[in-house]
Amino acid sequence: MLAEKSFRLGQFTLSSGGTSDYYIDCRLTTLDATGALLTGQVVLEEIGKQGWKADAIGGLTMGADPVVVATSVISAQQGRPVHGFLVRKAEKTHGTGQRIEGFRAKPARVVIVDDVCTTGASTIQAIEAAREYGFEIVGVLCLVEREESGGRANVEAAAKPTPFVALFTANDVRAEHVKQQASAPPIFAVSAKCDLCDRPAVTNAPGNRCEVHRP
C-alpha cells in the first residue's frame, strides 16, 4: 500500500529544504481505512517483537497522529492497551499550555513514532519533548526511513541509548512501486503533452502525465 498509494516519482521539495526525485506521503496509507488497520497491526507487532513493553505510543503532530491512533486502537482490540499521546510543535498559549496531549501518566514507558524519517528533525523534537515531560523512552520507530540527510545518525544520537527501528526503507518502497508499475496494464495518453509540463504524456490516469509526473 505504501508503494501503491504513498510513493510518487517526480521533482519535489522536502520539508528539510532539499529536493528529491521521489516523495512518500505516508498519510495516504495511514489514513486509508485498510491502511490504518495494517499500520496499527505492524507497529504493535514490532513493539512486541522488540520487547519494549510500552505503556503508550506517541510522536510529533501530524505525521505521527494516524500511526498513534491506529496502534492504540489495535492494542485495545488485542487486550493489551498501548495508550496514545501527541506532541505539539510548540506549547499551546491557552488552557493548560501543555505540549503533550492525550496520555500523560507518569512514570510511563513510551515509544516514539513517526511516519517518515529524513533528517529526523520531527522525531527528535518528539524525543526531547517526551523526555522533558518525564517519560521513559524505550523505543523509537518510523514507518519509512529515507536513508539520507543523516537521519538515522541524528535520531540515534538523540535517542541514545534507546534503539531506533525503521519498518521499511525508501528503497524498499521504491522497488515495490517500480514492480507494481511494470506489472500494471498499459494506459495510453489521450494528449500529446503532460497536463503539468510540456513533456510527452505516457498515461491518461488520472490525467495526462509524462514519465516524471505519472502517478
Write the pLDDT tens digit of every residue in 3-34: 999 999 988 888 777 789 999 999 999 999 99
- Is pLDDT at 101 greater than 60 in this prediction? yes
Residues contacting residue 51 through CB under 8 Å, at least 6 positions apart: none
pLDDT of 182 reads: 85
Write the pLDDT tens digit of every residue in 168-208: 999 999 999 999 988 876 655 456 788 888 888 887 776 78
Instruction: Measure the CA–CA gap between 192 and 201, rounded to whole angstroms.
Output: 6
pLDDT bucket at 49, cuts 50 / 70 / 90: very high
Mean pLDDT within 97-116:
95
Q: Which amino acid does the sequence have at 137?
A: I
Q: What is the CATH number of domain 36-168?
A: 3.40.50.2020
The domain ranges of the chain are: 36-168, 187-215
Instruction: Measure the CA–CA gap between 67 and 27, rounded to whole angstroms.
Output: 9
Residue 159: all three cell numbers together: 535517542
Largest CA distance in the chain: 63
Question: Could you give the percent of the chain with pLDDT greater than 90?
Answer: 74
- Is pLDDT at 92 greater than 70 in this prediction? no
- The values of phi and psi at residue 105, to 5°, are -70, 140
- The values of phi and psi at residue 16, to 5°, are -75, -10
β-sheet bridge partners, residue 13? 19
Inter-residue contact 165 to 50 (CB < 8 Å): yes
Name which of 146, 148, 144, 164 is nearest 156 in CA terms: 164
- Is pLDDT at 211 greater than 80 in this prediction? no
Q: Which amino acid does the sequence have at 165?
A: V
Instruction: Measure the CA–CA gap between 29 and 7, rounded to whole angstroms.
Output: 10
pTM of the model: 0.84
Name which of 123, 172, 202, 132 is nearest 22 in CA terms: 172
pLDDT of 96 reads: 62
The mean-pLDDT minimum among 54-68, 90-104, 153-167 falls in: 90-104
- The values of phi and psi at residue 89, to 5°, are -70, -20
Name which of 70, 140, 136, 127 is nearest 99 in CA terms: 127
Hey, how many other C-beta atoms are within 10 angstroms of the C-beta on 203?
Answer: 21
Name which of 125, 142, 139 is nearest 64 in CA terms: 142
- Is pLDDT at 120 greater than 70 in this prediction? yes
pLDDT bucket at 128, cuts 50 / 70 / 90: very high
